[in-house]
């Protein structure tokens, strides 16, 4: 069925003699392996068809797949190397520093996720904060949240003046 879909899009892949058969087959197999390796069922949850693709896109964003080759590398089983104690190198924690770019990616992912909140919800945002208030939040919950925010603000102010 997928081969016929690619064929309808202009690829010559219906039979094994088609010019694009190997390319299309490689894409289909890579995608199947990817969906076996990732928790796609959890991402899909109980979404209906109109929200399902959005949920899958949000789940795939952190992996940053740009090509079929990226997917194939990710899905490739890692070869188990023989244990060679004389070849072990202990990590140099004081020299090596991990990349610091992932934090912004995670923040932007969750910022985009709040765009998909149910209708009727209110979003409050400043330069560094974003709060989503669902339409079914009670006045008591709002007062509790405001009190907690005031506590945090007071402790931050005390830190800055100390």
Sequence spans of domains, the chain: 1-77+103-116, 118-162
Question: CA–CA separation, 133 vs 136, rounded Å?
Answer: 8
What pLDDT does 9 receive? 92
Looking up tokens 């190997």 gives 22
Asked if 24 and 8 touch (Cβ cutoff 8 Å), the reply is: no
What pLDDT does 1 receive? 85
Looking up tokens 């009190």 gives 147
Q: Where are the alpha helices (DSSP H) in 38-138?
A: 40-44, 49-60, 68-75, 102-113
Q: What is the full per-residue pLDDT of the chain (162 aa) written as tens digits?
A: 888 899 999 999 888 899 999 999 999 999 889 888 888 888 888 888 778 888 888 888 888 888 888 988 888 877 777 777 777 777 776 665 655 566 666 666 666 655 566 667 888 888 888 788 888 889 999 999 999 999 989 988 888 887
- Structure tokens of 143? 């007062």
What pLDDT does 80 receive? 73
Q: Is 74 helix (H, G, I), strand (E, B) or coil?
A: helix
What pLDDT does 156 receive? 87
What pLDDT does 113 receive? 59
Question: CA–CA separation, 62 vs 43, rounded Å?
Answer: 13
Asked if 58 and 115 touch (Cβ cutoff 8 Å), the reply is: no
What pLDDT does 76 receive? 83
């Amino acid at each position: 069925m997928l081969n016929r879909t690619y064929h309808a899009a202009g690829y010559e892949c219906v039979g094994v003699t088609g010019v694009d058969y190997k390319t299309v087959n490689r894409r289909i197999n890579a995608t199947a392996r990817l969906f076996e390796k990732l928790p796609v069922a959890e991402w899909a949850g109980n979404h209906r068809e109109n929200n399902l693709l959005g949920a899958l896109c949000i789940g795939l964003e952190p992996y940053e797949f740009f090509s079929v080759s990226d997917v194939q590398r990710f899905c490739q089983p890692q070869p188990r190397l023989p244990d060679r104690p004389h070849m072990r190198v202990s990590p140099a924690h004081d020299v090596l520093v991990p990349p610091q770019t992932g934090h912004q990616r995670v923040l932007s992912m969750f910022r985009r996720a709040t765009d998909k909140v149910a209708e009727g919800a209110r979003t409050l945002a400043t330069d560094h904060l974003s709060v989503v208030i669902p339409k079914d939040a009670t006045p008591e919950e709002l007062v509790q949240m405001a009190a907690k925010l005031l506590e945090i603000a007071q402790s931050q102010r005390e830190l800055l003046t100390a």
